Chain A
């Protein structure tokens, strides 16, 4: 049966969020609270006696294309012959921003945790302030692990298991950074790098600019990334 009105759904530019009809009133603007996978950043600066000097919560703004590629990689796995798709084995490999990652490289996961003093992956901090772009591959100016000018000591980067509230499920990625540089350091950017074990590559999946936060000598910066889904 013919519909009452003709609709067009623009799936491309606006990922299906824009629906227009051929007849109607002026465009209405909606501010909606979208649900989905959200990101928050908890920041805490502590002095050498563990006293909290500054504490704040910021919005995480930047799931990168690499994050979606990781999701894609783990949600499209198949290589058994009986998982063929129209006679062609699907998703034997996927391009992971320049690296061909076959499915077997998901064997060990995408490590977002890291041992202490390892600054190649896990949560990382930096001093860059260039705007985030979707295909960022690294922090603009990552602070290296260590003691000395411009460095911070990276402690263990770990993941708190999934917890739930009445309407949410969330995990927390957390890491602490100690400033033994001899001077203050101002952190302006954060990120999460995963170690793709199978390829021994490191991929930035989240990068955020934050309001600058100063960490004095011998002070500690605690960073928590909270990833939340809400129903």
Chain B
């Protein structure tokens, strides 16, 4: 692909908009950065969706994806999910959810909680074959954990400039210690197998320091640019970099 060395004017890109709030909801930090690290799993997902399956044609095998346990598996060729009666006729072969419900609710139903928008403390640069967050915070209320609330997603729209949809999740540090968020990931739960796949991951620089009981609202915007619009404006009082949009807690 190195021969495609040109500026590209059309793409589907992403942004993370994050807001750190006090327990009573007061904003103490806002930031925005590119969410630009879609990993190989994402492309395998696109491949499998566009290839699909057909009852009469023998299609070539899909590429394997790597789930969050490190297992190399094929998307869309599921075995029945553990703990369920299995899929019935008509269940989707191609489907993932990134819209995770509240961690507590998922636990109540005995479902995995480590999917959707997740945060972690790892800061290694993302590489194309990343398959999990480096050091994710699991769901919980003690030190080393985060309380993941439910997610909200908007339907795709054309807003005049972009074709886009947004997904949002609030994450609370319920522990009595300050915890640092250095990475954000988007993990899809496969509908039938309940395998989980990291589709994108980004390192937040500088890290977000979450005081005890503070809330972090993360919105990931997936937006398609239809025209050469990859010029944007930023009014910046500081040094003209992302770092200057931060405030001091």
Residues of A that sit less than 8 Å from B by CB: 1-5, 7, 9, 11-21, 23-40, 57, 59-65, 67-72, 74-80, 82-86, 90-91, 94-95, 103-113, 115, 132, 134-135, 159, 161-162, 164-171, 173, 194, 197, 226-231
Shortest C-beta distance, A100 to chain B (Å), equals 13
Known: A5-B247, A36-B12, A168-B128. A161 touches B63 (CB 8 A): yes
A194 neighbours in B (Cβ, 8 Å): 50
Which A-chain residue is minimally distant from B164 (CB atoms)?
A: A15
- 15 new A-B contacts, CB < 8 A, other than A18-B232, A161-B62, A164-B40, are A5-B237, A11-B166, A12-B159, A16-B17, A19-B30, A19-B236, A20-B235, A32-B34, A38-B10, A60-B10, A61-B10, A63-B163, A165-B2, A228-B4, A230-B128
User: Which single member of B4, B19, B128, B238 contacts A231 (CB below 8 Å)?
Assistant: B128
A9 neighbours in B (Cβ, 8 Å): 17, 19, 30, 32
> Does any Cβ of A come within 8 Å of B175's Cβ?
no
Known: A113-B51, A134-B226, A231-B38. A76 touches B92 (CB 8 A): no
Known: A21-B235, A28-B240. A77 touches B11 (CB 8 A): no
A78 neighbours in B (Cβ, 8 Å): 95, 97, 99, 191
User: Which single member of A11, A21, A32, A70 contacts B221 (CB below 8 Å)?
Assistant: A11
Which A-chain residue is minimally distant from B188 (CB atoms)?
A: A75
Contact, CB under 8 Å: B38 / A25: no
CB<8 Å pairs between A and B, sample of 5 = A3-B28, A59-B6, A74-B45, A109-B94, A230-B36
Residues of B that sit less than 8 Å from A by CB: 1-4, 6-17, 19, 27-30, 32, 34, 36-40, 42-54, 57, 59-63, 76, 84, 90-99, 101, 109-111, 125-130, 150, 153, 155-166, 188, 191, 219, 221-228, 230-238, 240, 245, 247-249
